[in-house]
Chain A
Amino acid sequence: MRNDWTVRDVGTVVAGLIFILLGAWMIRESFAMSPLGSVFPRTIAAVMIVCSVMLVVQRLYRRPAPPADENPAGESTGRRLALVAVMAAWVFLLPVLGFFTSSLLAFLVLLAVANYDGWNLRRVLVYGASAVGIIVAFYLVFVELLLLPMPRGFLI
């Protein structure tokens, strides 16, 4: 057994174990299917389990190629999580608030998440105007021109 674990190695082993479980679950589910429907899932699940076991064993015993930068200095995990959270809220609120409102809110918050340069009056005005401009342009193109039935809601 090796003892020089990197984050990537641990992640690989965890992912391998998850894929083994997924394969096992696929095989269990396949018993409820017709013979025609179950043959392919079982085959693929078997391949997935075999490859995952090999991957885990390989990681446990063999030193892999030197890993790339794990998290290069200066990368912000906080902003990544914030982006995922904002997008999750956006995706789930889309049917509730409607396209226009949810997009405008999400756009403004994402501007704040992605901006590294600090805020002054000029930047607030320029970014705010571009947010409204881009959303309105999208709305006109998709809803009015392409007649896409976007969810309606709070504002429009």
Chain B
Amino acid sequence: MEMLGYFLQALTPLNFALAVAGVVLGTVIGALPGLSATMAVAVLVPFTFGMDPASGLIALGAIYTGAIYGGAFAAILVNTPGTPSSIATTFDGFPMARRGDGNLAVTLATLASVTGGVVGGLFLLLVSPPLATVALAFGPPEYFWLAVFGLTLISALSVGNMLKGLIGACFGLFLAMMGVAVVGGDTRFTLGSHLLLGGVDVIAALIGLYCIPVIIDLVATPDPHLKVSPQGGGFRLAEALRLCWRGKWNLMRSSVVGTVVGILPGAGGSIASLVAYSEARRSSRHPQEFGKGAPDGVLATESANNATVGGGFIPTLVLGIPGTPPDAVILGALLVQGIRTGPTLFTAQGPIVYTFIFGLLIATVLMLPTGLLLGRYAYKSIIAIPKAVLVPTVAMLTVVGSYAVHNNSDDVIVMFVLGVVGWVLNRFGFAPSPIVLGLILGPIAEQGFVQSWLIGNAQGNLAGMFFGRPISLAIVALSVLTLFYPILAELWRSRTARRLEARDAK
């Protein structure tokens, strides 16, 4: 049995140790307010360059899932989301901690995270291979439209301003164009400098865009005086398991919501947990308890955000399009490892992919013991790490990390400059994720676009090439819907309101 072999491969002492270490490190970084999962993955990527691809991927996957989970500690115990994905966990987690049920909330969050993570991982294991078969039918136009879909989705999700999201995406595409062109071989936008001849390195750019703004903002304020809510003794595991059983439908629904949101390009844990939370409240028999310490609220958000991990890997591995921001970093790491993602990955590099998926599942299950112990015994010392030491350490990781990609000091300069530019743009509402997605999808989009253009011109049917293929059309329709969804929703709402008014007037 092939799968059993891959499973055992994921259980070798080295891979198992990496999964444990990754989960612990990820949880610690996630638990520190201000440091996100994307950042945890970005700063720890260079450690994996020396490993073989499967082990490196397992380590990164474990860090990722651990960091998403770790955010819950800070959310529950000090009412500060440790990562953006645990924002919704504060709604009910903190009220629970305040009435003395902090230990129960942490255990619930742990069980929910493991459940969500396993559901997402199983989807990854079962859905990716058939999806890869479908993706084999994709030609250049499909890849082009898929990239466009990813970009419109993330722009539409950019908080508050879609135009800024689109401009950010174009800026990312511009960065991706620097250096030697993927088709045609022109040298573009290098300003005559050798520094940019090889283009902007994706990993260096990601470290800069995601980590430099964080350190710049970390030094701006003194250490917050975080007060850890006092907890009773014990894990209250039996009680938590009973609550999970009672909320099993909620748990399953939230895990599926998380997986699906993870699959959508660019949308990650923060959106998934908010959607799952509102769904849980809407369908609950006691919606008035939400926000006042309802265990179901914690179950919903924490299962959803961890389910995005497995879900997000589906487009990342099958299509080479990152499902969530941390996946963008992992995609960059895969390129460094010499692995080309795409539909052929599952056949050509089967052993690596399946070993990784099993490794991710093992890491997810490992969150149960490590998370409970960390939350119980180490949380107070984690949160006591002073910023004064944290800031230079993270800064150092960014410098070493961007250097390690190609052993080149020029990449460090690119990382730093982009980081500062990203911080300034972020101050004016241009979020980093559209820029990053543009940078990652740039080559895919350009190759698809230029190849379709060439084939279309040769056939004398340019419009047919772009708009005449069924899969393309479906993706175009999705993109248009995404782009105009906010406007359509507004129209629909006002029409319903008018109809209600008209009915009331009768």
B-chain residues with CB within 8 Å of residue A114 when the two chains form the complex: 218-219, 387-388, 390-392
A-chain residues with CB within 8 Å of residue B289 when the two chains form the complex: none
Tell whether B413 is near chain A: CB-to-CB under 8 Å.
yes
Tell whether B369 is near chain A: CB-to-CB under 8 Å.
no
Report the bound CA distance from A43 to B466 in whole Å.
15
Q: Which of A33, A40, A51, A127 contacts B449 (CB 8 A)?
A: A40
Tell whether B427 is near chain A: CB-to-CB under 8 Å.
yes
When C-beta atoms are compared, the residue in chain A nearest to B215 turns out to be: A83
Contact with B along A17-56 (1 / 0, CB 8 A): 0010011001001000111111111011101100110110
**CB of B475, distance to nearest CB on chain A (Å):** 18
Given the contacts A12-B429, A34-B184, A94 and B392 also touching, CB distance less than 8 Å? no
A-chain residues with CB within 8 Å of residue B217 when the two chains form the complex: 80
Q: Which of A8, A106, A150 contacts B395 (CB 8 A)?
A: A106
Report the bound CA distance from A95 to B218 in whole Å.
27
Q: Is the CB of A107 within 8 A of B396?
A: yes
A-chain residues with CB within 8 Å of residue B446 when the two chains form the complex: 40
Tell whether A155 is near chain B: CB-to-CB under 8 Å.
no
A-chain residues with CB within 8 Å of residue B222 when the two chains form the complex: 74, 116-117
A-chain residues with CB within 8 Å of residue B218 when the two chains form the complex: 114
Q: Is the CB of A37 within 8 A of B188?
A: yes
Report the bound CA distance from A8 to B425 in whole Å.
10
Tell whether B193 is near chain A: CB-to-CB under 8 Å.
no
Report the bound CA distance from A40 to B396 in whole Å.
37
Q: Is the CB of A48 within 8 A of B399?
A: no
**CB of A152, distance to nearest CB on chain B (Å):** 12
Q: Is the CB of B177 within 8 A of A40?
A: yes
Tell whether B267 is near chain A: CB-to-CB under 8 Å.
no
When C-beta atoms are compared, the residue in chain A nearest to B49 turns out to be: A146
Q: Is the CB of B388 within 8 A of A115?
A: yes
Report the bound CA distance from A17 to B221 in whole Å.
32
Report the bound CA distance from A26 to B176 in whole Å.
13
Q: How many pairs of A and B residues are in contact by the CB < 8 Å rule?
A: 185
- The B57-97 residues at the A interface (CB cut-off 8 A) are none
Q: Is the CB of A88 within 8 A of B416?
A: yes
Report the bound CA distance from A134 to B392 in whole Å.
10
Chain B interface, >50% SS class: helix
Report the bound CA distance from A48 to B177 in whole Å.
14
B-chain residues with CB within 8 Å of residue A147 when the two chains form the complex: 50
Given the contacts A76-B219, A84-B216, A91 and B392 also touching, CB distance less than 8 Å? no
Q: Is the CB of A47 within 8 A of B166?
A: yes
Q: Which of B174, B186, B212, B428 contacts A12 (CB 8 A)?
A: B428
A-chain residues with CB within 8 Å of residue B368 when the two chains form the complex: none
Report the bound CA distance from A88 to B212 in whole Å.
12
- The B382-397 residues at the A interface (CB cut-off 8 A) are 386-393, 395-396
Given the contacts A15-B428, A110-B392, A146 and B50 also touching, CB distance less than 8 Å? yes
Contact with A along B153-197 (1 / 0, CB 8 A): 000000011011011001101100100010111101100000000
Q: Is the CB of A41 within 8 A of B388?
A: no
Q: Is the CB of B416 within 8 A of A51?
A: no
B-chain residues with CB within 8 Å of residue A15 when the two chains form the complex: 425, 428, 430
Q: Is the CB of A80 within 8 A of B216?
A: yes
Q: Is the CB of A91 within 8 A of B416?
A: yes
Q: Is the CB of B393 within 8 A of A134?
A: yes
Contact with A along B318-355 (1 / 0, CB 8 A): 00000000000000000000000000000000000000
Contact with A along B342-376 (1 / 0, CB 8 A): 00000000000000000000000000000000000
Q: Is the CB of B450 within 8 A of A76?
A: no
Binding site for B on A (CB under 8 A): 8, 11-12, 14-16, 19, 22-23, 26, 29, 33-41, 43-45, 47-48, 51-52, 54-55, 58, 64-65, 74-77, 79-80, 82-84, 87-88, 90-92, 94-95, 103, 106-107, 110-111, 113-117, 127, 130-131, 134-135, 138, 141-142, 146-151
The 5 closest A-B pairs by CB, nearest first: A37-B186, A36-B184, A37-B184, A116-B222, A110-B392
Binding site for A on B (CB under 8 A): 46-47, 49-50, 160-161, 163-164, 166-167, 170-171, 173-174, 177, 181, 183-186, 188-189, 212, 215-223, 386-393, 395-396, 399-400, 403-404, 407, 409, 412-413, 415-416, 420, 425, 427-430, 445-446, 449-450, 453-454
6 additional A-B pairs beyond A55-B167, A79-B220, beta carbons within 8 Å, are A39-B449, A40-B450, A55-B164, A83-B395, A91-B412, A92-B413
